[in-house]
Structure 1
Amino acid sequence: MTKRRSESLRDTLEECIAVGEFVPGHHLDETELATRFGVSRTPIREALIQLASEGLVEIRPRRGAVVAEIGPARLVEMFEVMAELEAMCARLAARRMSDTEHAALTAAHLACEDSCQARDPDAYYLRNEHFHSLIYAGSHNQFLAEEAQRLHRRLRPYRRLQLRVRDRVATSFGEHEAIVAALRAGEADRSARLARDHVLVQGQRFADLIASLSLLQETA
């Protein structure tokens, strides 16, 4: 029971980090969190240890747990790796996805369209996550899918932050459109290239991300 509770709390705290409620550098006080969620400090401590193993939280001497902070250079490196993992998933998915999986991906894409038209970046962010998870699963390589999902989770706050940049949601949806078409056509190399470009942070997108990070730090 305690293990299930700590895992549930881990998911809740991870979501708070992903949506920006707990920003990088935020101190995660065990007593305050225990009071907030109506539990003892033990499952809170276990949840924080789990988040630390994922890289989302740092446990520092005399300060306790804080939301991890990532410098711009390190962040770009992580996005580079994420882009390659996405490309690998897309390349395999183009060859291996079933008709049922294509139908599910199309449905997820249309759900993203609803959020795009509503100009709701938060709703789009959640549906965008589902869209990408279907491509990971469609690779039919469980190890690859798990690694992609792990890094995706680590980058969640920053991927969400990008969607708040002007016109990024509409651009992202257009990129999804091309990826879906390439996957359905079974074009492995094109699917990989489109998926990689969709995630890479360079040029203007790099400048936008750095500007967003500066705003995020000001609210910390």
Structure 2
Amino acid sequence: MTSRAQSLRDAIEEQIAIGKLRPGEHLDETVLATQFRVSRTPIREALIQLATMGLVVIRPRRGAVVAEIAPQQLVEMFEVMAELEAMCGRLAARRMFSEEHADLLKAHQACKEAHDEGNSDDYYYQNEAFHQQIYAGSHNAFLAEQARNLHRRLRPYRRLQLRVRNRMATSFTEHDEIVKAIIAGNGERTAQLLREHVMIQGQRFADLIASLSHLASKAA
């Protein structure tokens, strides 16, 4: 993939993550080429790459659309994400160095500042950085790669969760307990906290589905 196509892939992925491009929405190569002031060739390359990531579906003779996830599949993906995060957390609690603890605390502080400002969009990005610190802290490159890949696939839905009432405050409180467990070196406690932090079920699932329905109605 060319560097231009890669930067376009990142830009389109970001539009999907923030909900500017919604699940099921058609991705017109000509429109995107005009928007980014490039030819259709790097746009096509970027869409193919997004398709390999699961964020886009390319249909023969019908073009590309933003991938949609059925509710049951979404639950299953969050179940796997919760276990990957738990594994990363368990290892991070055992393997993180003091310098990495300092980086984790900085990421946690950045989340606090976004939370205190009531800025869910900024919190979303700081939250990503927080979780990335934990993946890296596992010191298991293969596991971290799998966690990052699924995290990227679920970005639009994780972002929606933060817009549910009180979810940002709850998320930050959960982060605080996770940080304490990691620094204390308590792997099992960290794993449990991260599993509960990521898992969507019950009311959290109902809230996410309601948010998706709201987006769909706005797109109609």
TM over 0.5: yes
Paired residue for 1:63? 62
Paired residue for 2:109? 110
Match of 1:179, as an amino acid? I
**SS at 2:58 equivalent:** strand
* Structure 1 residue 63, shift from structure 2 partner: 2.1
Paired residue for 1:101? 100
**SS at 1:65 equivalent:** strand
Query: Matched residue pairs, number?
Result: 219
**SS at 1:114 equivalent:** helix
Task: State the identity as a percent.
Answer: 68
CA distance in 2, matches of 1:28, 1:219: 18
Paired residue for 2:181? 182
Deviations 1:133-168 (A, max 9, x none): 000000000000000000000000000000000000
Q: With structure 2 as the length reference, what TM-score do the two structures score?
A: 0.98
Match of 1:73, as an amino acid? Q
Deviations 1:179-204 (A, max 9, x none): 00000000000000000000000111
CA distance in 1, matches of 2:215, 2:11: 21
CA distance in 1, matches of 2:33, 2:200: 37
1:19 and 2:18 aligned? yes
Deviations 1:19-66 (A, max 9, x none): 000000111100111111111100000000000000000001232010
Match of 2:80, as an amino acid? V
Paired residue for 1:3? 2
Match of 2:102, as an amino acid? A
Query: Where does 1:35-46 land on structure 2 (aligned, <5 Å)?
Result: 35-46=34-45
Match of 1:14, as an amino acid? E
1:147 and 2:146 aligned? yes
Structure 1: tracts of 5 or more residues without a match: none
CA RMSD of aligned residues (A): 0.8
Q: With structure 1 as the length reference, what TM-score do the two structures score?
A: 0.98
* Structure 1 residue 219, shift from structure 2 partner: 2.3
CA distance in 2, matches of 1:210, 1:164: 12
Runs of 4+ in 1 over 3 A off after TM superposition: none
Match of 1:38, as an amino acid? R
1:80 and 2:79 aligned? yes
Paired residue for 1:91? 90
1:196 and 2:157 aligned? no
